[in-house]
Amino acid sequence: MRSLQDSRNEIDKIDEEMIKLFERRMEVCKDVADYKLKTGKPVLDRKRELEKLEALKGKASDDFYAHGVEELFEQIMSMSRKMQYKLLTEEGVNNDIGFDIVDSLDCEGARVVYQGLPGAYGQQAATEYFGEKEEYINVTTFREAMRYVRDGKADYAVLPMENSSAGIVTDVYDLLVEFSNYIVDTFDIKIEHCLCGLPGTKIEDITEVYSHPQAFMQSNKFIEEHGWNKVSLANTAISARYISEQTDKRRACIASENAAKIYGLDVLYKGTNFNSTNTTKFIIVSREKITRRNAGLICISFEMPHASGTLYQMLSHIIYNDLNMTRIESRPVPEKKWEYRFYVEFEGKSNQAGVINALSGINAESLNMKILGNYVIVF
């Protein structure tokens, strides 16, 4: 029997030979990249790769090795493509992703749209970000807000993207893909929900509460402890206005203290949300494809063929270019059963070589990739 050390020594020698062969192969791939640059051929030739993989698998001595050969060469081909994208970028191909770089957002005299009535958290977010002097427009739905920006009726929209307790706002994610508007900034506001009722209402009077589904999720423990029925409305401010129009003190709402003040309600309990650090991330959306000079996060969306390993292949472009992924979310693709769209956020600037390489690869190998924005990191 051979000693363990002898076997390890032989593996070391084989590995050294494999490295030499790998580097030799990659050098030849540079010639391939040069040819594709001159002829305009795409880097990914999926038909050729599949044919090549089948041929290589056929050279293996059994099924186990055939599967290993397939995995090995899928990775080698993936690295080859990444190198080709890099070389093409260095030659000036695909090195402009179309964002204009600005020092700051033009907020002077801006028309800003938010979803909900005065007193909604959207209004609070808008005034905290832009100040009291700007022109504010409130609309009923997130879609209307996106449409106002697209059609030039507003310069910016302020929309909720994610809550630290309840998760993402799915409708907003979907609308970012549907509309040609872009995230130009994000910021956080602390959320403190309140139980609000008609003047003179006592907590023990209440049997039914009204609010937005997100507010219910964030206040679920408080509501369940009291056994109240829940009725969903479009947002918290609409819920406050609705209660202000009632005469039945058995009805109350979950809304902000500001909404209670606007609609003449009593605050019966502060902090109905179970998480005292409850925070909502809002995005600033513009129809202009701009990014600030100090931006450090990029958000993209893409779909993929429904096949094994495709998500890994997409994310490997981020890993290979030394980029740090900070978020990944998925949403069903409308009218495509069991197919999903992915939203990925990672650190980087729109003019950064590694970012351009990664985006080139993902764009070539995924379906319907879209850059949703490049914005400043919020700590």
Give residue 207's identity as a one-letter amino acid code.
T
Q: Is 302 helix (H, G, I), strand (E, B) or coil?
A: strand
Could you tell me which residues come within 8 angstroms of residue 42 by beta carbon, excluding any fewer than 6 positions away? 36, 364
| Distance of alpha carbon 34 from alpha carbon 88, whole angstroms | 8
Q: List the catalytic residue out of 280, 291, 302, 342.
A: 280
CA distance 55 to 376: 48
Catalytic residue, chosen from 99, 142, 282, 346, is 282
Using an 8 Å Cβ cutoff, are 156 and 347 in contact?
no
| Nearest residue to 258 via CA among 187, 196, 206 | 196
Give the three-class secondary structure for 192: coil
Work out the number of other CB atoms within 10 angstroms of the CB of residue 105.
18
Q: Which residue type, as a one-letter code, is found at position 237?
A: A
Q: Which of 206, 211, 186 is nearest to 273 (CA)?
A: 211
Q: State yes or no: is 280 an active-site residue.
A: yes
Is 282 noted as a catalytic residue in this protein?
yes
**In this structure, what is the dihedral angle of CA atoms 339, 345, 349, 353, given to the nearest 10 degrees?**
-50
Whether 284 contacts 185, CB under 8 Å: yes
Distance CA 125, CA 320 (A): 37
Which neighbouring-strand residues pair with 66?
A: none
Q: How many residues does the chain have?
A: 379
Q: Is the dihedral of CA 351, 355, 361, 367 positive or negative?
A: negative
**What 3-state DSSP class applies to 266?**
strand
Active site residues: 280, 282
